[in-house]
Amino acid sequence: MNFFTTLVTFENLHEVRRLCHWGPVIALTVIAVCTSMAIIDSIIWYWPLDTTGGSVNFIMLINWSVLILYNYFNAMFVGPGYIPLGWKPEKVEDTKYLQFCRMCQGYKAPRSHHCRKCNRCVMKMDHHCPWINNCCGHQNHAYFTSFLLLAPLGCSHAAFIFIMTMYTQLYERISFGWSTVKIDMSAVRRFQPIMPFSVPAFAATLFALGLALGTTIAVGMLFVIQMKVILRNKTSIEAWIEEKAKDRIQYYQTGEEFIFPYDLGRRWDNFRQVFTWSGSPVGDGIQWTIHAKCHQHTLTIEQLKQKADKRVRSQIQYGVVEDYNGACCPLSKGLNTFFRTPCTEEPRIGLRRGETILATRGTKWWMYGDKVLDEEQTKAGVRLRGWFPRQCVEKCHYDTAVNSAVTNETSSENKKVN
């Protein structure tokens, strides 16, 4: 229902452009191949007009396809829900508990995060999914998870049809010898005059079987991961924040007790926060049902503490010693850098000798960080961050006095938040 409303609304027609991306193209191609081949093989293996079983098999197959596409397009076009541009909390004093988004020129509501791909702050953001070319968040979390459940079920049914079709069609045509296997594809059974099972049909069925089995395993694993966080009323990002909170408390030995504020205790209660009979999730995406021992800003306060701690423990200053043009796989930087480029849609940033980078993470051959900009660019809200080859930079040597000042500043920020 929401999907069709979205399509016919004039101001939302630009959302159709989400289809013009490699993720939806591949996903819809897999769905189309598996569905069309399953329909063809159903006609060959179990003609739906002859028996009740054949009719039930065919109706179930069509049912899987409709439900998969319905939830897929809803996840894509309904979207996660976005925080209004320039949003501020009703109480001015609450702003000290929230992070300010320079891109949206507003505060980030609890559970929201800024997505660089969508260029908006997303309500209850879980992740940006390239397969739907959209974020998974508050409004489409149920549709996305339903798609992750239905796709393996539909592909399992299709795989069963493929296997039974190949078995019934090839059983009487294969003769096994000690060293050879002879397959005669020219014979056609008497009761299947409509569509013969030829060599191209066999190859297409085998290819579709591989797609169906691969999709069942890969998407099924994603469904299990999503259900684990949903049953605790978390998102993938929040699960990572909770893990970092425990590490921070253990590192500084603060004696704090961090309670995740949105876990309601019972799995069924957590489940109903996402899946409802109306199809709309509980809440408006800004105010949330919380644990009795917490308040609306428990998680955002922890995020501010982690952000302050990150300045001390994570960001290391590097100086650029080699130019880099921002290529995804730069062959000029060596074969290891070329073949071990990060498998992510996060951007690369070009480097010029003499620039400074604040690195936050990395691999053996690549690093990720923010480029240190001049004062005018910083005031304008410009931010350049992304991946770059590790060999292009060298670690800067800090002055001890500067490090102590930064540490003291971070400690004072933590006290202010508390």
According to the model, what pLDDT value does residue 406 have? Answer: 41
Question: Tell me: the pLDDT tens digits for 270-313?
Answer: 999 999 998 889 999 999 999 989 999 999 999 999 888 876 76
According to the model, what pLDDT value does residue 194 have? Answer: 54
Tell me how far apart the alpha carbons of residues 233 and 239 are, in angstroms, rounded to a whole number: 10
Query: Do residues 357 and 399 lie in contact, with contact meaning Cβ atoms separated by under 8 Å?
Result: no
Helix H or strand E segment including 122: strand 120-122
pLDDT, averaged across the chain? 85
- Both structure tokens of 80: 């996660």
Residue 318's SS3 state is strand
According to the model, what pLDDT value does residue 107 have? Answer: 96
- Catalytic residue (one of 34, 104, 115, 129): 129
> Judging by beta carbons within 10 Å of its beta carbon (0-12, 13-18, 19+), is residue 267 exposed, middle or buried?
middle
Q: How many CA atoms lie within 13 A of 211 on its CB side?
A: 23
> Is 363 a residue whose pLDDT tops 60?
yes
According to the model, what pLDDT value does residue 315 have? Answer: 64
According to the model, what pLDDT value does residue 2 have? Answer: 54
| Intervals of CATH 2.30.30.40 along the chain | 316-395
- Both structure tokens of 158: 């299709």
Q: What is the mean pLDDT of residues 198-217?
A: 93
Tell me how far apart the alpha carbons of residues 279 and 58 are, in angstroms, rounded to a whole number: 28
Query: Do residues 195 and 44 lie in contact, with contact meaning Cβ atoms separated by under 8 Å?
Result: yes
According to the model, what pLDDT value does residue 398 have? Answer: 52
pLDDT band at 383 (very low <50, low <70, confident <90, very high): confident
> Judging by beta carbons within 10 Å of its beta carbon (0-12, 13-18, 19+), is residue 67 exposed, middle or buried?
middle
> Is 247 a residue whose pLDDT tops 70?
yes
> Is 332 a residue whose pLDDT tops 80?
yes
129 belongs to the catalytic site? yes
| % of the chain residues with pLDDT over 90 | 58
- Both structure tokens of 192: 């299947």
- Check residues 378 and 232 and name the one with the higher pLDDT: 232
Closest Cα to residue 128, out of 260, 12, 28, 237?
237
Q: What is the mean pLDDT of residues 5-29?
A: 75
Question: Tell me: the pLDDT tens digits for 46-71?
Answer: 888 878 888 999 999 999 999 999 99
* pTM score, whole prediction: 0.78
> What's the CATH code, domain 316-395?
2.30.30.40
Closest Cα to residue 297, out of 103, 94, 151, 160?
94
- Both structure tokens of 307: 């952000």
